[in-house]
Structure 1
């Protein structure tokens, strides 16, 4: 099972008819974190015309909230929330700060501006694909090493740690549904010369070639 999560927040800005829209994103695990983040941005941009927000929490987005913060109803918070949902991003909060530029945008213009600001904020963020899987430490001899690496490589799995002593220990992470087939292939390829030393359920992603465990 995979889904996208906001791993690292960012800030993006657009200008529409001299109004500045500053979008700031932040990963959040629960509503308390989201509310703290929103309050921090309100204090930071205390002199702004509006600080609108939206956040989604949970693998099924069971918690969804948004606010227009004084903008016309449904012109800010809802479009912002719909961007997060449309991108399939979980566990994320975004605040769009507006400094009014003197020209009214109209309801349609506001909807487009707030949505565009969130998209720009997300472009400046780090979004990872989070996979529910298994983290495993295995041991084999040097003869079996190449065979195991070949099997992993065919599935796009790269060990994140290797220890070379009398035997070789590899640490890998992979989707849970691949476990039985991988074990079967390892055993057949090495004539049973592979041992599972550690195994645990995990959630992981990959950022610039580095494994990230949640």
Structure 2
């Protein structure tokens, strides 16, 4: 998804990830492809419980990029996802409120068009017990 504000372009990419290594796998090629961009801000949330996460501002003012991206991930309620927003500076400073809005909007647009895959958590458990205890085991 792409969002423009006062000449700056914010291009958002959403990727499914399973591990921290996947973050680098997607981030490095984006930096090469968009080598003229000024910032590659991102956020991710991993795991069933969502306790593994990170928000990176990549040189933008603290809390103006990574946190809004992570906030959008959380508002959609997804996990195992990485969102990277590439910013091309347009010559006009947006200020912190403007940056927050831009990163938030670009992320919201990317997640709105992304295909969300819902997966059931399943695990086969084998329980061995003697016949008299079968009712208690079930």
Q: Structure 1 length normalisation: TM-score?
A: 0.55
Q: Which runs of 5+ in 1 are unaligned?
A: 1-11, 135-199, 202-214
Higher strand proportion (structure 1 or 2) = 1
Which is higher, the Rg of structure 1 or of structure 2? 1
| 1:59 matched residue in structure 2 | 48
**Counterpart for residue 62 of structure 2:** 73
What is the match of residue 36 of structure 2?
A: 47
Structure 2 unaligned segments of length 5 or more: list them: 126-138
1:124 maps to which of 113, 121, 124: 113
1:93 maps to which of 74, 82, 102: 82
3-state SS of paired residue (2:111): helix
The root-mean-square deviation of aligned C-alpha atoms, in Å, is: 1.6
* Alignment map for 1:122-201 (pairs within 5 Å): 122-132=111-121
Alpha-carbon distance in 1 for matches of 2:22, 2:121: 23
3-state SS, counterpart of residue 119 of structure 2: strand
Report the counterpart of residue 181 of structure 1 in structure 2: none
Matched, 1:33 2:22: yes
Deviation (angstroms), 1:133:
5.3
- Detail structure 1 runs of 4+ shifted over 4 Å in the superposition: none
Q: Please identify which structure carries the higher helix content.
A: 2
Distance in structure 1 (CA, Å) of the matches to 2:122 and 2:38: 45
Structure possessing the higher relative contact order (Cα contacts under 8 Å, 6 or more residues apart): 2
Task: Note the alpha carbon deviations across 1:185-210, whole angstroms, 9 max, x for none.
Answer: xxxxxxxxxxxxxxx69xxxxxxxxx
Pair 1:112-2:112 in alignment: no
What per-residue deviation string (whole Å, max 9, x for no partner) do you get for residues 78-107 of structure 1?
A: 110111112111100011000111111110
Between the two proteins, the alignment pairs up a number of residues equal to: 125
Q: With structure 2 as the length reference, what TM-score do the two structures score? A: 0.84
